Amino acid sequence: MKHWMFNCKEVTRMLSDSLDRELSFHQRVGLRMHLLMCKFCSRYQRQLLFLRETMHLHAKHSEDMEPLIKLPPKVRERIERTIHNVLDRPE
């Protein structure tokens, strides 16, 4: 028989999986029951969502924010030259 009482370690795994795939009915019910009782796993869930949100922002990168890292000047010149060469080439 399947057990319904998942421990915290199992719950953290299911919380992560729920970000990538659909959990089974059994997992969803067990997970919800656990989260009702366990403040630390609820916290863990919020923190995983925060991590995901942060990575999305990291990727999108606000227009107004100065990039943390800049293209090194030499590389910038090299790339600019390459672009000019291609643009100057007759089609």
Closest to 35 measured CA to CA, from 21, 23, 52: 23
Closest to 47 measured CA to CA, from 19, 6, 27, 5: 19
Per rule CB under 8 A, is residue 5 in the interface with another protein?
no
Record the tokens describing residue 27, joined without a space: 């997992």
Determine the Cα–Cα distance for residues 44 and 31; give it in Å rounded to an integer: 13
Per rule CB under 8 A, is residue 82 in the interface with another protein?
yes
Per rule CB under 8 A, is residue 63 in the interface with another protein?
yes
Question: CB of residue 8 vs another protein: minimum separation in angstroms?
Answer: 5
Per rule CB under 8 A, is residue 83 in the interface with another protein?
yes
Tell me the CA end-to-end span of the chain in Å, nearest whole number: 71
Which residues of the shown chain bind another protein in the complex (CB under 8 A)? 7-10, 12-13, 16-17, 19-21, 40-41, 43-44, 46-48, 50-59, 61-65, 67-72, 75-76, 78-80, 82-84, 86-87
